Structure 1
Amino acid sequence: MNNLTLFDLDHTLLPLDSDYEWGQFMSRIGAVDPVEFARRNGEFYAQYQAGTLDPVAYLEFAFGTLARFPRSQLDAWHRQFMDEVIRPALKPGALALVQKHLDAGDLVAIITATNRFVTAPIAQEFGVEHLIAAEPEVDEKGDITGAFIGTPPYGAGKVVNIRNWLEARGQSLEGFARSTFYSDSQNDIPLLEAVTHPVATNPNALLGAHAKARGWPILNLFND
């Protein structure tokens, strides 16, 4: 069986937080109240960095914002977001790392607490077919309702989501001789502990200290 390779997205493959930057983008273009939205977006981002985020509360905020607009408008804005924010931030080292695992025939997936609306086009930029992300509920027209589906892929929820995804494929985490997960954050320690080859990637201070204590490799992709 092929090896399994998993990537976190924000601050792991991207040198930014796509969820936070989407909120900043929405404020800049005037789609949301810039003062109030920036305040709440900043509060949630600080909680994420500190490891105290309530993922349900954040998803209700994020999906509630998206639900204000028809999907056609959101998609048009996202194309602008990709051109102005995401593509200029892509780093050769991150693109090359993903491609190395794809070329090796690994089963590759990105797993992120950021929602699918924001991250699906980004996963495509990396050439990754499989994305596990926070799932918005959509109506029969494809518009986002404001609700979310399933378990938020945050903290231990990432392990739940990976196991559910593999089970749906008739596979299991333990069925791979080698499973690798790249992440920057202490929030992902549960999944890092669950794979055979955890890699602290551009780690924050808390994960960096944990990785050193456990003897995990540390990789820095954003030195170019």
Structure 2
Amino acid sequence: MTLALFDLDHTLLEGDSDQLWAEFLFSRGLVGSDHLRNKDALFADYLAGRLDIHAAARVVLGPLVGKREQDLLAMRREFGAQCIAPRLRSQAMARIDWHRERGHRVVIITATTRFVAAASAELLDVGDLLATEPELRDGIFTGELTGIPCFREGKVQRLQAFCAAEGIDSSDLHFYSDSHNDLPLLQHAHFAYAVTPDAILREQAEHNGWPILDWFQPVPPRR
């Protein structure tokens, strides 16, 4: 089976899901400016390739601790409609359609936590989502992670576990990403695509002969 794997942030989406989620919570008075500053610092660590994924998850999940996931789904749908839908890249959606027309199975694979990433997966009608998993106890967020974070080498491990569980022979993998943090999976894929890549990934793509796809989506004005 052919798998078409897509990173989420800055690949399918013009922007970063966690950043947008933090701004969404701030706009509703659910977090303070210190939360935004902490999130900005973590995003800088991500760009520099030094992110501690567990520390990042604690910041992202902090506002959800003690809350029941089921009680937050309506708010997530609102977040998707207002903050995600206008930023989904038209070129990315066209590429998803291109793969679907050929019978390929489309998978979103992202370091973003499942709760936040699901807003994009639902809008794109992608049922296969590999994401960093927040820990839930009796349906309530603890603020910690469970399992292997879907980040760097962890993406390869999570993909291998997914293929084993689904009985998929992953002999034909396409993977689209913008970030050098995804080099382990890009190197694992049979067909690697650098989408609006950062400087490190662009250099690697040029060296390896990977196609470079410059996808951009106009960002809607702030309200």
TM-score class, shorter-chain normalisation, is over 0.9
Map of 2:79 onto structure 1: 81
Deviations 1:117-146 (A, max 9, x none): 011131121121100001112222x22222
What's the offset of the Cα at 1:191? 0.2
Q: How does 1:1-224 map to 2 (within 5 A)?
A: 2-33=1-32, 35-140=33-138, 142-173=139-170, 176=171, 178-222=172-216
- 3-state SS, counterpart of residue 37 of structure 1: helix
What's the offset of the Cα at 1:72? 4.6
Distance 1:195 1:49 in 2: 22
- 3-state SS, counterpart of residue 78 of structure 1: helix
Structure 1 consecutive aligned stretches of length 4 or more whose deviation exceeds 6 Å: none
Distance 2:69 2:3 in 1: 33
Using structure 2 for the length normalisation, give the TM-score.
0.92
Distance 1:152 1:14 in 2: 20
Using structure 1 for the length normalisation, give the TM-score.
0.92
Deviations 1:64-98 (A, max 9, x none): 32114343542232122112211111232111111
In structure 2, what residue type is equivalent to 1:196?
Answer: H
What's the offset of the Cα at 1:172? 4.3
| Count of residues paired in the alignment | 218
- 3-state SS, counterpart of residue 107 of structure 2: strand
What stretches of structure 1 of length at least 5 have no aligned partner? none
Deviations 1:47-68 (A, max 9, x none): 1111110111111222232114
In structure 1, what residue type is equivalent to 2:215?
Answer: L
Distance 1:121 1:36 in 2: 24
State the superposition RMSD in angstroms.
1.5
Aligned-residue sequence identity (percent) comes to 39
What stretches of structure 2 of length at least 5 have no aligned partner? 219-223
Distance 1:92 1:12 in 2: 11
Contact 2:87 2:217 in 1 (8 A): no
